[in-house]
Structure 1
Amino acid sequence: MNPEYPVTLVLHDENKSTKVNEVEKIIISEIVKKLPKEYTSKDKLGIVVPFKAQRAQIKSLLRELGLEHVQVDTVERFQGGEKDIIIISLTASDPSYISAVLEFLFNPNRLNVAMSRMKEKLILIGSQEMFNATTKDIQKFEELIEPWRTLFRKIRTYGEKLWSGTLEEFVGELDTSEDKYQKILNKYKAINMEVFGINEWPKSP
């Protein structure tokens, strides 16, 4: 992940996940494995998720990578000071589920707290469906959904597309020691991805 871009959006089109997202687990695995070793210490890296089930999945992954010391938690439970790198897994991608838990997922505090914890880089991983979410309740739309859509629009408008392709291309060849991921990758290998980076946050008009 290019350090020139302090905010990076990793977008995918998987759309059937609720409290656990295997696609985002694979993406996080690849990102963490590519980070310089000095950025994987407890005080350098933090991963924020909305659900305890996704937290358990990511914790299991980190144990396999020998990084069980890395903090993974929900926004509500995230403790400690700032981290150099914050990774956010938005997790939910099923449109019906997103609509059902709208107020929880789009709580503005969730985004603000997560962003306030990063010192050098924020990596936001999410499904296109999170940014397509809508509601007939105008007040809820303006208070909950619009801030996320604004973030999405700013990254795409003022940022740069750094990469696009499938999940299989993003991962490349798996190590023989990680064959258990092959079954998951085979299931999702055709998922489309785009990566956007923004090197200077645009000022509000």
Structure 2
Amino acid sequence: MSEGLGAGAFLLSLSFLLIPVTGLFFGYRAKRHTWISVAIAVPGLIFLALRNGFVLVPSDILFLVSAVLYALYFNVNGKYCSDIPPVTQTCFQLISAGTICFIAYLVTEQSATQSVSEVWQWLVLSIVLATCLRFFFLLKAQSMSPEGQGAIVMTLEPVWVAILSAWWLNESLNTMALTGMAIIFLALVVNSIGSLLAGRKQKLAALGQPPIV
């Protein structure tokens, strides 16, 4: 549905700001830098909405819903599934997602005009590289790295999507959309740096060393 994957990626990237917010339902207290980041991101969201006039298009709404659900997933995954090996966790999660999507396909897409045989190469690449391998690396990294460090790396995801969309799909974004994307990226950076500094401060406190100013 989307006519601008670059803008959609930045909307989806809001999930990294929403992870601590949705974590409130799991007893997690969001830190001050998180609320500052959310406050910064709101004008960016407004700019992205204004690129189409004073309304969010349906694809934008779905990207935002997906961001909220991904934030919930991240919290559930960290709280209840941290002891499950990454390969096992990836296998069960993707089997569950594939089963549900297959049922949805049978119900809603019986009149699909495009045949799988026309795009099977890209389908295989999407399944193996962009889905299975990506989820495995994400779950493996989540079990190995501090939250703040991983968040900083993940802020680059929407940037890469925007670059590839402009290069590969010849997408063009107006000034309003670029401004909104830049503001959201700033919010992601602020949140990531705040998480990293908070993690280092906590680690130094555990070691009995003075905190970083």
- Give the TM bin, normalised by the shorter chain: under 0.3
More strand by share: 1
Q: Which has the larger radius of gyration?
A: 2
More helix by share: 2
